[in-house]
Structure 1
Amino acid sequence: MLSALIIFVAQLIYVPVLTLRTILMVKSMKKQASAMGILEGIIYVGAIALVFSDLSNYLNMIAYALGFGVGLYIGGIIEEKLAIGYVTIEANIPRKNVDLINKLRELGFSVSTSEVEGISTSRTLLYCTARRDREKEFYKIISDYEATAFVASYEPRNFKGGYITKAMKKRRELFLKKKKQENAV
């Protein structure tokens, strides 16, 4: 019974680590992904060794499977909370809504607009790239101003230039300045 509990807990740790390692690798964060991979390997070998040490113990196998399933759920929650990276959001709205555009910009969203042709009418397309943790906020604002908008989002793998990179550069400069002041003290 104790080995089944150990296996279950190991899976609760292993699978979220696996999830994070995968995300870090996709985000090209190789060093962090490697560190997670080492931890993942240690946990995996330990848990699987316990399962294989007694193949007649079905409780261990069930604990492994249950831990894996619950670990996937926990890993998904952790990934959602961390919201690593950026998202590009496109909102297709019926007309150019200056109040909406100004509100988004006032809240720090980068917004570019263009006129597009729909099936039977001209529409306005809003483009925005933001941190992933602000995606729901963007959707809420769009919904408040344009309830019938078609909104889609996707994750850019890389980007260069524009509003986001300027803001990132400013944040980095402020960080380095603060760090330099701290080191001087």
Structure 2
Amino acid sequence: MFLQAIFIFLLQLLYVPVLTIRTILLVKNQTKAAAGIGLLEAAIYIVALGIVFQDLSNIYNISAYIIGFGAGLLLGGELEKKLAFGYVTYNVNLMDKNSGLVKKLREAGFGVTVFQGEGMNSIRYRLEVVAKRSREEEFLKLVNEIEPKAFLSSYEIRSFKGGYLTKAMKKRVKRLEKERT
């Protein structure tokens, strides 16, 4: 009786993170990979629900399904943070140009474009910075060390083509990896 409930719980712990990854891949327009993962997702789903539906009076199996789903959501969220698929763009708004910050970000391999704009009472500067999501913490640390009062906003990039990112960023990251080892 309890073995089935434990099995259902474990299936849910596997099912929901797989569901999370499939959803992320769909959002990132990677439909073939999402379809492949969807096969595994469907198989797990059918097995777990099949066991639950065999005896709807078994509160242990139903509870295991529900609790496993919640625990799977937590696990899936953590997994998504660790995998950090894709790219993010940060808008860094500054009172001053801060060429030192721009230089450090570029040296670290981030794509940086500087814009000048008109604020309410003065000229303002905005950096548009593109980074791999896996390097987001590194980026935030650099900005906070050099320009702690900067206003930051971000959004995820679904896709991109051309520009600095596709050529120079790959070369620069490889060079930095060699220097670190």
Output the amino acid matched with 2:119: G
Aligned to 2:126: 125
The answer for unaligned runs of 5 or more in structure 2 is 173-181
Query: By how many angstroms is 1:121 displaced?
Result: 2.4
Number of residue pairs matched? 171
Query: By how many angstroms is 1:157 displaced?
Result: 1.5
TM-score, scaled to structure 2: 0.90
Instruction: Give aligned-pair identity as a percent.
Output: 53
Q: Secondary structure at the match of 1:49?
A: helix
The answer for unaligned runs of 5 or more in structure 1 is 172-185
Q: Secondary structure at the match of 2:35?
A: helix
Question: Does the CA-based 8 Å contact 2:15-2:45 persist in structure 1?
Answer: yes
Query: By how many angstroms is 1:58 displaced?
Result: 0.7
Q: Does 1:41 align with 2:42?
A: yes
Aligned to 2:52: 51
User: Over residues 7-50 of structure 1, what are the superposed CA-to-partner deviations in whole Å (9 max), with x where a residue is unaligned?
Assistant: 00000000000000000111111111011100000000000011
User: Over residues 65-106 of structure 1, what are the superposed CA-to-partner deviations in whole Å (9 max), with x where a residue is unaligned?
Assistant: 110001011111111111111111110011000111110011
Q: Distance in 2 between matches of 1:156 and 1:119?
A: 29
Q: Distance in 2 between matches of 1:141 and 1:99?
A: 11
Aligned to 1:98: 99
Query: By how many angstroms is 1:120 displaced?
Result: 2.5
Comparing 149-158 and 2-11, the one that deviates more:
149-158
Q: Distance in 2 between matches of 1:48 and 1:121?
A: 62
Aligned to 1:110: 111
Question: Does the CA-based 8 Å contact 2:113-2:128 persist in structure 1?
Answer: yes
- Runs of 4 or more above 3 Å deviation: 167-171
Q: Distance in 1 between matches of 2:169 and 2:142?
A: 23
Aligned to 2:14: 13
TM-score, scaled to structure 1: 0.88
Q: Distance in 2 between matches of 1:46 and 1:98?
A: 58
Q: What does 1:1-185 correspond to in 2, within 5 Å?
A: 1-167=2-168
Q: Distance in 1 between matches of 2:170 and 2:5?
A: 50
